[in-house]
Every structure is written in structure tokens, then in C-alpha cells.
Amino acid sequence: MAAPAEAVPVHRAQVLARRARLRPVRALERAALVELADRLSAVAGVDRVLARPATGSLIVETHHDAGEVLDAMEEAALIVTRRTPKPPPVGQMVKLGLFQADMGVKSRTEGALDLRTGLALLLIAGALVQLARGRVAGPATTLAMAAFSLIDRDGAAG
């Protein structure tokens, strides 16, 4: 008889009334994920467990309350729930996204253009469109000032 496998640490990514998505804390090979799905499907109250190797997650479908079934899986020492890490602050994610966009623009233009200069050019184009429509005092001035502000920052940083 094979030795009992130890409990797999997982995050409860999503728990609904009769469905839950579990993500192992450490990435599992396809075979290990399928084997874990087979072991979890033997717990009372489980309809089926789908292994999703592409996302590294398990979908547990139950005919009882999913939270209670997951608790039963923990009691059977099949899984151990770990606290899901908090997502990074929104400001940090925005800065990362802008940095990645800037690097993408630089790499695609071989360093000739960066995100700030590209945005300044778009604002200048918008100001010219507004000037052509005869809207000098409002939109054209605002867009031009925003564009010059971006260009001036470029000059101060360089």
C-alpha cells in the first residue's frame, strides 16, 4: 500500500455556493494536479473535480455547500488552506503598467519615441484639430498646455 500523500497547500481562489476554484501554492506538474483532483473527488459531497493544468488550478463542483466540502477536504488532510496574498496596491500596478507601456514604445521605435513624447504628440494633434474647428479658447488651449507640460518634463529630466 502506498504511503498517504501529504496535504497540498492551496489558496481558495473562488468559493461559490456549489463551486470552488483552488490554486496550489506551488505549481504542480500536470500528473500531480490530475492525481490531486482524483483524490479530492473521493470526498463526500463532491460531484467532480476538474484539473486545469493551463491555469494550474482545480475546479471543485459539489452538491453540498462548497465551503463545507472544502473544510471536509482539510479535515481529511488532503489540502491545507493558505491565506491568499493581498494584491499589490493599485498605484503600484498603474506605475508598472505605464513602465511596461513606455518600454514597449521604446523597443518598437528603437528608442526614437517614448510614452511621454508619444502622448505629447497626440495632445498636440488634438489641439490642432480643436484649432481647426475654431475652438481656440477652451479645448485647444488645454490640450496644448498639457502637451507642452509633458514636453517640458522631458526637457527637465534630460
| pLDDT top residue among 6 and 41 | 41
Q: What are phi and psi of 46, to 5 degrees?
A: -90, 130
Report how far apart, in Å, the C-alpha atoms of 57 and of each of 18, 48, 49, 89 are.
17, 14, 10, 24
pLDDT of 123 reads 83
pLDDT of 118 reads 87
pLDDT of 155 reads 54
Q: Which tens digits make up the pLDDT trace of 70-118?
A: 999 999 999 999 887 788 899 899 999 989 999 999 999 998 998 888 8
Average pLDDT over residues 9-30: 93
Q: CA end-to-end span of the chain, whole Å?
A: 70
